[in-house]
Amino acid sequence: MLQFSLPAFASSKGSEMYDQYQMLRGVSRTFALSIEQLPQPLRDAITIAYLLLRVSDILEDNEVMPAARKAELLRLWDCILDERASVALLVDAVAELDGSDPEVYVAQCAHTVIEQLRGLPEPIQASIVGYVRQTSLGMARWQEQGPLVADEAELDDYMHQVAGIVGYLLTDIFAWYSPVIRERKAELMPLAREYGLALQTVNVVRGLRKDYERGWVFVPRTFYNQVGLTHTTLFEPEHLPAAMRVVEMLAFKAERHLAHGMTYITAFPRHQHRIRLACMWPLLFAVKTLAVSRNNSAVLLTEAKIGRAQVAQIMRDTRLLGWSNAWLKCYYRALALPVNSIAPSASGLASTKSTV
């Protein structure tokens, strides 16, 4: 089991960031692993950026609020970030949600995250605010557009709003920190979008069932129509063989984005090993998740995820050898090999889920 200990805070903001790191761990243990090993001041900046994006996420993903209310609050959040509205309006709006949910708690503490944001260097503040606003407005538009995706172009548009833009944000912050990365920024930015789309496409695959149960299907209609299915029959056990062909279409798409994501990582200078690791770990976790999802009907019936032991192994291996681009490319190919899975029966759906 992965153990989480408090980092030795080498932050110029000192103990003021303690609560932010606690919230980060609460909403994503895997991203916390990546972010907390970054050098300062990147650690603080990306923690704050991530938490601001999670405020947008909880407004988008909330299962209680109707879509129109979500869009309204996402636009309010945009105004708050632009200093055209008080953060107290959002905090009041989410006060009655269940604060024991770590993601809800982040939204309820949005005022504290904003306070920490204002302490960052001005160029980083501007970058974070600009990209989080873009993402929030894109999410609002998709809440109004509806829960189905017509084709691959629409899926890419959605994924760009929620993940591709985040790739731009990370690259901006890294370029601010490193002169060498700054020189490569023009090369990195198109790949940054692909990096974000890679992670999000795998999220779509692993979250197929959960998204369907909350009323959303991110599979392009053009994909499942090819095999004679609809957005509802795609998830019916009797149609599993055809549905798994759709999963494979998504997997091929994910592979294309993941390959570009690997090019993004190897374009970073090797001496920036901690930055490379911060990008490498989510991508390699996604590569392995895709491998265990292929030929595995759990992705449609329950969920398929990698285990903590695999996460820990990837971290150990890459800490030691991830500075080498040649080794990393070989390691990527090994992780990407499909894992033979026993399909759960339609009646006794034994979950392959393992919390990461």
Q: Cβ distance 40 to 11 under 8 Å?
A: yes
CA proximity to 27, closest of 5, 1, 58, 49: 58
Buried b (16+ CB within 10 A) or exposed e, 153-178: ebbbbbbbbbbbbbbbbbbbbbbbbb
Both structure tokens of 236: 């019916």
User: Distance between CA atoms of 355 and 153, rounded to whole angstroms?
Assistant: 32
CATH fold, domain 147-340, is Farnesyl Diphosphate Synthase (1.10.600)
Tell me the Ramachandran region of residue 5: left when phi exceeds 0, alpha when psi lies from -120 to 50, beta otherwise: beta
Paired with 148 in beta bridges are 217
Check: CB of residue 242 under 8 Å from CB of residue 228.
yes
Q: What integer pLDDT is reported at residue 185 of this predicted model?
A: 98
Pairwise CA distance, residues 66 & 286, whole Å: 31
Q: What is the pLDDT of residue 12?
A: 42
pLDDT score for 339: 82
**Buried residues in 206-233 as b, exposed as e (16+ CB within 10 A):** bbbbebbeeebbbbbbebbeebebebee
For residue 88, give the nearest of 66, 63, 52, 114 by alpha carbon.
114
Predicted local confidence at residue 16, as pLDDT:
75
Give me the pLDDT at residue 2, please.
35
pLDDT by residue (tens digit) across 70-117? 999 999 999 999 999 999 999 999 999 999 999 999 999 999 999 999
The pLDDT value given to residue 11? 45
Q: Provide the pLDDT for residue 356.
A: 37
- Looking at residue 353, its pLDDT comes to 38
Residues of the chain with CATH 1.10.600.10: 17-145, 147-340
In this prediction, residue 10 carries a pLDDT of 41
List, for the chain, all residue ranges whose pLDDT scores fall below the cut of 70: 1-15, 340-356
- The CATH architecture assigned to 17-145 reads Orthogonal Bundle (1.10)
Q: What is the pLDDT of residue 14?
A: 53
The 3-state secondary structure of the chain, one letter per residue? CCCCCCCCCCCCCHHHHHHHHHHHHHHCHHHHHHHHCCCCCHHHHHHHHHHHHHHHHHHHHCCCCCHHHHHHHHHHHHHHHCCCCCHHHHHHHCCCCCCCCHHHHHHHCHHHHHHHHCCCCHHHHHHHHHHHHHHHHHHHHHHHHCCEECCHHHHHHHHHHHHHHHHHHHHHHHHHHCHHHHHCHHHHHHHHHHHHHHHHHHHHHHCHHHHHHCCCEEEEHHHHHCCCCCCCHHHCHHHHHHHHHHHHHHHHHHHHHHHHHHHHHHCCCCCCHHHHHHHHHHHHHHHHHHHHHCCCCHHHHCCECCCHHHHHHHHHHHHHHCCCHHHHHHHHHHHCCCCCCCCCCCCCCCCECCCC
